[in-house]
Structure 1
Amino acid sequence: MKSKTILILLLIAVAISVQAQDNTKKLKEIRVDLVQLDTITAQAKKTEPLILQGQITNSPEKELYLFTDSVGKYKPDTLRLDNEGRFYLKTYNAINPQKVSIQNKRTQLNNIYVAPGYNLTITADASDFPTLMETTQITGKGAESNRYRELYLKEYIRRKEADNWYEFTDEAKFSSYLEAEKQLTDSIEKVAFGKAVGNDPYFSHFEEMTRLDNLFLLEYKKIAFTKLTGMNARQAREFVEKLADATLIKDINNEAYFISENYKG
């Protein structure tokens, strides 16, 4: 009987110990979350606001959403369009320079560069997606960093009747496409970022982000081509090794690459 009592007491002690450990773990997780929240709050207080304003006509949705990355936490803001499509948003959630989208299910403005202190005026006609791409204009403080987007979209629209890269099956044709695409993006980068902008501290950051995004997008397409054409492991390895950017691959763990969403993807 005494042994049974001791066993029960031991089991109770173990249960209490396990519960205490769980509680300690939860408290640590809460402390970590609170520290991160304090960090975000402190940074936000030091940060200039991001202002987005303008007019998006013919949008089927009157609420669009902006998600900004605030130290690993994605925070949503709502852009409410009035009856004529006008909107105004002032947010402190964009505490670092980044690429964002303003979107809902049927209206999407993609790849917009925002940063603390930017004051962008955006106008567009959202009747349909092609019209939205063609009519979007971005002016105001920070517009120079968004110049690449504007120039590339114009070229994309001009070439919209061309073959899609993911439909290629011929290796030589695909390789020619890659060369032409790199020449195009390099030339647009030079035009968009060729002249320094004195009043934008994030201009060079977005220049490097754009360069890396373009390079890693090409690498992604090379890998995707091996899947689309059904190459086996040996063929895929030989194909990628032959076409891969050796400099990027050699330094693939470079932390500086993390400003590129395509690298992280």
Structure 2
Amino acid sequence: SAELGQGLPVVLQLIAAEELNQNPRHIDVLLMDTDLTPDGGPTTASRQTFVTGNAVRHAARALRQLLTSELAERYDVPPQDIRFIEGLAQVNGKQVSLSDLAEQMIESGRQPLASYTYWAPATRPLGQGGDMHFAFSFAAQAAEVEVNTLTGEVKVLRLIIANDVGTAINPLGLRGQIEGGAIMGIGHALTENFIVEQGRVITDRLARYRMPSITFTPEIIPIVVEHPVSEGPFGAKGVGEIVLIPTIPAITNAIYHAVGVRFDRIPVDQEKILMELKQKEVIQ
């Protein structure tokens, strides 16, 4: 699995820490080391929290069971009487350092390692009563815009963004995903246009392509809806890409309600708005 800025290491760190009942700061996440981590599939379709997150949770659970068995054998206690806390295991009123336990296991020829291969649930073809996917994400957005009818400039004043995330593993990182997706959607809706004329790229630099900057950022009001899915790690499911999808229609619909003009092509830049407003005046 690849980290593309979506905050995957922190999500995996929190999942492992929760399963092991440890402080997240004591969990190190190594990505893209093919000697240690086999191919986890592409970082696409908002799938890594679900797929790799499940693998991490099951591997952490297997490690906990391995350590529990080791402690139960060493101290002759029932496994259910062993508790894990920050960096320690509690056994019969004693506190055992997990790092010391790991070293002792290695010295005795036993590796304190656990692995797990997770396969996503199988789906059935639609014609056989199945679904195309094993989990679905849902989102809704509302946009408030201001349109200058003299210049054609559009300002997005406010975005209200609701997402069903299953379970929010990292609420702060989730907010960053929501804000980033919203700004990306603003760019698609209003400014970003990849132009090719006679095989030549016209928008060959950022000054021409016009990606939105921080000055484009409106007030963003996130609404996190948590409906856990049984197959997800602690009920979580993907949210990385779905934020972007409703932003464009929310903005273009807001423009329609502001000036009465529909747009079926993006970006809705100043030139298009002025052209459509003039056409509207001619028709009237």
- The two structures have a TM-score, normalised by structure 2, of 0.25
Structure ranking higher in helix proportion: 1
Q: Larger relative contact order (C-alpha < 8 A, sep ≥ 6)?
A: 2
- The two structures have a TM-score, normalised by structure 1, of 0.26
